[in-house]
Amino acid sequence: MADLRCTIAGVESINPFWLASAPPTDKKYNVDRAFAAGWGGVVWKTLGADPPVVNVTSRYGVHKDTSRGILGINNIELISDRPLEVNLREIEQVRKQWPDRVIIGSMMAPLEEELWKELAIKIANTGVHGIELNLGCPHGMCERGMGSAIGQVPELVENTTRWVREVVDIPVFTKLTPNTTDILLPAEAALAGGAHAVALINTVNSVIGVDLDVMAPMPVLDGKGTHGGYCGSAVKPIALHMVAEIARNPATRNLDISAIGGITTWRDAAEFIALGANALQVCTAAMLYGFRIVEELNEGLSDFMDKKGYTCIEDFRGMAVPNTVNWNDLNMNYDLKANINKDLCIECARCHIACEDTSHQAILMDIAADGSRAFSVIDDECVGCNLCQHVCPVPDCITMEPVKNDLPYVTWPNHPKNNIGAS
């Protein structure tokens, strides 16, 4: 059986699955249940200094697919509204009760050096394995000059990270906001400030939808709504991209990464690890399916590793990073054509409609006298975009087949049609 142990920022964990700083980690009761279910660690819900936090009632909006499955959650909840002393006492209790599990204390404070330092020291004194700096919250707290208001300014990211590093001797994780144009700027700033690791992504600033009866953003509070933080499986592609950018950037490639963003299945977890993540944080999946989802995550990841011959996470961590390149580094001479397996085809015509209406008119539909339909690909018109493969409801019915040629690997800068590159 594969070894799921991992190490991040020098912190060892029995498995890579931690609960992210959020409602599931708000109190001892929740964390006890999480550890009993098998989670390797938790990041305690963010603790703050003055002013006190008051949360509103309706806090969540959801984005659903056409079958009412939840793709993402938008929340307008703030950091912990429980007394700081109560949280600190419970952290210390859980730390003693579960000595083999990881506890990271999350924190944020107004932009005053002494407030950051005082709070960091209090959290460190509970015995936590590390401190996560919440520089990403995109609602409520940022209006007070905290959260993403700090995380969007590299200079402030560096300053707050350095302030905490100066007063604690445990690992510091800087949590980055995705609400920025270039994730490398705050990542490099965190490294400059002395961060042992970065955690990303925090939630994406969004309006989840509009109640057309009330005419206000959801969730609606007394006729009004606001923007919030978007999380769940829908943000996974954004998180994967940002993790990959940090992992392949020469200046940050050695920075440990605690990956967050839409991790719901073992496959999601494996993808983040393949892109360089040292450990993983989960929130929405636990909120939707309960703490025992960690059993499926552990078992699925272990089975995958066994089948691939990976004995430990380090065997495949970062393997996808060298293959993650800029668009200009792709092979312009690589050619694919769609192939339709007529034995598997159910004659739904979705491939034909998608190609005929929105792509390259490369799929013919022949209707027989008995009304049956047959579909075939016009190779000369097919550009290998693979839209037909994605819309087809039957697995493996449409495959993309490489076209054999003797053409060399040519990137766009060196392509004959690129007049600038050719000159």
The radius of gyration computed from the CA coordinates of the chain, to the nearest angstrom, equals 24
Q: What is the 3-state secondary structure (H, E, C) of 97-135?
A: HCCCCEEEEEEECCCCHHHHHHHHHHHHCCCCCEEEEEC
Q: Where are the beta strands (DSSP E) in 368-420?
A: 373-377, 398-402
Secondary-structure breakdown of the chain: helix, strand, coil percentages, each rounded to the nearest 5 = 35, 20, 45
Q: How far apart are CA 78 and CA 416, in angstroms?
A: 55
- Name the nearest CA neighbour of 198 among 142, 139, 114, 260: 260
Angle in degrees, CA 233, 35, 20, rounded to 5: 35
User: What secondary structure letter does DSSP report for 218?
Assistant: S
Question: CA torsion sign, 327 to 329 to 333 to 335?
Answer: negative
Q: Measure Cα distances from 209 to 212, 230, 413 in Å.
A: 9, 11, 42
Options 6, 137, 392, 397, the catalytic residue: 137
- Contact by Cβ (8 Å): 233, 292: no
Tokens of 63: 């984005």
Three-class DSSP category at 381: coil
Rounded-to-integer distance, Cα 331 and Cα 220, Å: 49
Would you call 137 a catalytic residue per the annotation?
yes
**Where in the sequence numbering do the catalytic residues fall?**
137
